[in-house]
Amino acid sequence: MRKLKNLFSVLIISILLFSCKKKVDISIDTLSKSGEEFYFGEKVPVWAGTDGDKNGISYQWTASGGTFDGWRTQNLYGNLWIAPDAPGEVTVTATSKNGGSSSSKSMSMKVTRYF
């Protein structure tokens, strides 16, 4: 009887452990851009490479200067960044979220006056 009780206890604990949802991790491994130097108003493709569970993934793009091309690409892995009308270094950041976790990565964009 005692063995049966112990076996039943182990079985219940195992079911509880394996039925709990695990935290789904995601990470941005790469953040890429099309080029090295950009002129005023240039439209530059930028994109993120993610690793982990991609179910329900969305992206958020931010920049310390310039803008992004519309609402259509804001939640996608790739976006179109438009350089500002002033020279300097701009930081572009992508954040990926999948409900369980989020990950961010940034890169520097060098804006020059001439193309």
pLDDT tens for 77-114 read: 899 999 999 999 999 999 999 877 889 999 999 999 87
| Per-residue pLDDT at 109 | 96
Backbone angles phi, psi at 3, to 5 degrees: -65, -40
What is the signed CA dihedral for 48, 26, 103, 79, rounded to 10 degrees?
20
pLDDT digits 0-9 by tens, 16-34: 666 655 555 888 999 999 8
The strand pairing partners of 102, in sequence order, are 97
pLDDT over threshold 80, residue 6: no
Which DSSP category does 66 fall into? S
Burial of 12 (0-12, 13-18, 19+ CB in 10 A): exposed
Q: Residue 73: CB partners within 8 Å, gap ≥ 6?
A: 61, 79, 80
